[in-house]
Amino acid sequence: QVQLVESGGGLVQPGGSLRLSCAATGSTSGLNAMAWYRQAPGEQRELVARILYGGSIYHADSVKGRFTISRDSAKNTVYLQMNSLKPEDTAVYYCNADSSVSGIYFQYWGQGTQVTVSY
Protein backbone atom coordinates (compact mmCIF):
# COMPACT_ATOMS: atom_id res chain seq x y z
CA GLN A 1 0.00 0.00 0.00
CA VAL A 2 1.16 3.50 -0.87
CA GLN A 3 0.28 6.76 0.81
CA LEU A 4 0.54 10.07 -1.04
CA VAL A 5 0.77 13.41 0.75
CA GLU A 6 0.59 16.65 -1.24
CA SER A 7 1.76 20.06 -0.14
CA GLY A 8 2.55 23.47 -1.57
CA GLY A 9 -0.84 24.74 -2.67
CA GLY A 10 -2.09 28.19 -1.86
CA LEU A 11 -3.20 31.56 -3.18
CA VAL A 12 -1.13 33.29 -5.83
CA GLN A 13 -1.66 36.20 -8.21
CA PRO A 14 -1.80 35.68 -11.97
CA GLY A 15 1.71 35.39 -13.35
CA GLY A 16 3.02 34.02 -10.09
CA SER A 17 4.51 30.64 -9.28
CA LEU A 18 3.92 27.71 -6.96
CA ARG A 19 5.69 24.43 -6.42
CA LEU A 20 3.66 21.40 -5.43
CA SER A 21 5.20 18.38 -3.75
CA CYS A 22 3.92 14.83 -3.35
CA ALA A 23 5.71 12.38 -1.10
CA ALA A 24 5.04 8.67 -1.51
CA THR A 25 5.46 6.35 1.46
CA GLY A 26 4.67 2.73 2.21
CA SER A 27 5.24 -0.02 -0.32
CA THR A 28 6.95 2.18 -2.87
CA SER A 29 9.22 -0.39 -4.52
CA GLY A 30 6.65 -1.12 -7.22
CA LEU A 31 6.02 2.48 -8.24
CA ASN A 32 6.54 3.09 -11.94
CA ALA A 33 4.81 6.40 -12.60
CA MET A 34 3.48 9.45 -10.83
CA ALA A 35 1.23 12.19 -12.10
CA TRP A 36 -0.63 15.36 -11.24
CA TYR A 37 -4.32 15.80 -11.95
CA ARG A 38 -6.56 18.76 -11.26
CA GLN A 39 -10.27 19.35 -10.94
CA ALA A 40 -12.06 22.68 -10.91
CA PRO A 41 -15.60 23.05 -9.53
CA GLY A 42 -18.16 21.73 -11.99
CA GLU A 43 -15.50 20.34 -14.31
CA GLN A 44 -14.08 16.90 -14.93
CA ARG A 45 -10.74 15.74 -13.65
CA GLU A 46 -7.86 16.64 -15.96
CA LEU A 47 -4.42 15.09 -16.34
CA VAL A 48 -1.87 17.87 -15.93
CA ALA A 49 1.45 16.05 -16.11
CA ARG A 50 2.86 12.57 -15.79
CA ILE A 51 6.34 11.17 -15.28
CA LEU A 52 7.33 7.56 -15.85
CA TYR A 53 10.25 6.21 -13.89
CA GLY A 54 11.75 5.10 -17.19
CA GLY A 55 12.18 8.75 -18.07
CA SER A 56 9.18 9.71 -20.21
CA ILE A 57 7.50 12.98 -19.28
CA TYR A 58 4.15 14.31 -20.49
CA HIS A 59 2.48 17.67 -19.99
CA ALA A 60 -1.00 18.70 -21.00
CA ASP A 61 -1.15 21.21 -23.83
CA SER A 62 -2.77 23.74 -21.53
CA VAL A 63 0.30 23.84 -19.28
CA LYS A 64 3.20 23.19 -21.67
CA GLY A 65 5.89 25.80 -21.29
CA ARG A 66 4.55 26.85 -17.89
CA PHE A 67 4.47 23.72 -15.71
CA THR A 68 7.24 21.19 -15.18
CA ILE A 69 6.94 17.82 -13.48
CA SER A 70 10.00 16.24 -11.89
CA ARG A 71 10.89 13.69 -9.25
CA ASP A 72 13.45 12.94 -6.60
CA SER A 73 13.94 9.19 -6.72
CA ALA A 74 15.79 9.07 -3.41
CA LYS A 75 12.84 10.67 -1.63
CA ASN A 76 10.05 9.08 -3.69
CA THR A 77 8.75 12.58 -4.22
CA VAL A 78 7.27 14.19 -7.30
CA TYR A 79 7.08 17.93 -7.87
CA LEU A 80 5.06 20.23 -10.07
CA GLN A 81 6.67 23.58 -10.70
CA MET A 82 3.96 25.97 -11.86
CA ASN A 83 4.99 29.26 -13.44
CA SER A 84 3.04 31.99 -15.20
CA LEU A 85 -0.10 30.91 -13.41
CA LYS A 86 -3.47 31.87 -14.84
CA PRO A 87 -6.89 32.13 -13.18
CA GLU A 88 -7.99 29.09 -15.16
CA ASP A 89 -5.34 27.06 -13.34
CA THR A 90 -7.44 27.36 -10.19
CA ALA A 91 -8.36 23.86 -9.05
CA VAL A 92 -7.72 21.14 -6.54
CA TYR A 93 -4.55 19.37 -7.58
CA TYR A 94 -4.25 15.65 -6.88
CA CYS A 95 -1.17 13.49 -6.84
CA ASN A 96 -1.47 10.08 -8.48
CA ALA A 97 0.82 7.06 -8.43
CA ASP A 98 0.84 3.78 -10.34
CA SER A 99 2.29 0.62 -8.82
CA SER A 100 2.87 -2.82 -10.30
CA VAL A 101 4.01 -5.80 -8.23
CA SER A 102 4.08 -9.29 -9.76
CA GLY A 103 1.55 -8.24 -12.38
CA ILE A 104 -0.84 -6.67 -9.88
CA TYR A 105 -1.63 -3.05 -10.70
CA PHE A 106 -2.73 -0.38 -8.24
CA GLN A 107 -3.54 3.29 -8.49
CA TYR A 108 -3.21 5.61 -5.52
CA TRP A 109 -4.44 9.15 -4.94
CA GLY A 110 -3.45 11.92 -2.60
CA GLN A 111 -5.91 14.02 -0.64
CA GLY A 112 -5.56 17.04 -2.92
CA THR A 113 -4.20 20.53 -2.44
CA GLN A 114 -6.00 23.74 -3.40
CA VAL A 115 -4.41 26.13 -5.88
CA THR A 116 -6.14 29.48 -6.31
CA VAL A 117 -4.94 32.04 -8.86
CA SER A 118 -6.58 35.40 -8.30
CA TYR A 119 -5.87 39.07 -7.65
Q: What pLDDT sits at residue 103? A: 87
Q: What pLDDT sits at residue 23? A: 97
At residue 48 the predicted structure's pLDDT band, cuts being 50, 70 and 90, is very high
pLDDT tens digits for range 49-60: 999 998 899 999
DSSP annotation string for the chain: -EEEEEE--EEE-TT--EEEEEEEEESGGGEEEEEEEEE-TTS--EEEEEEETTS-EEE-TTTTTTEEEEEETTTTEEEEEE-S--GGG-EEEEEEEEEEETTEEEEEE---EEEEE--
pLDDT tens digits for range 21-37: 999 999 999 999 999 99
pLDDT tens digits for range 63-118: 999 999 999 988 999 999 999 999 999 999 999 999 998 888 999 999 999 999 99
Q: What pLDDT sits at residue 55? A: 86
- Tell me the mean pLDDT in the region 2-28: 96
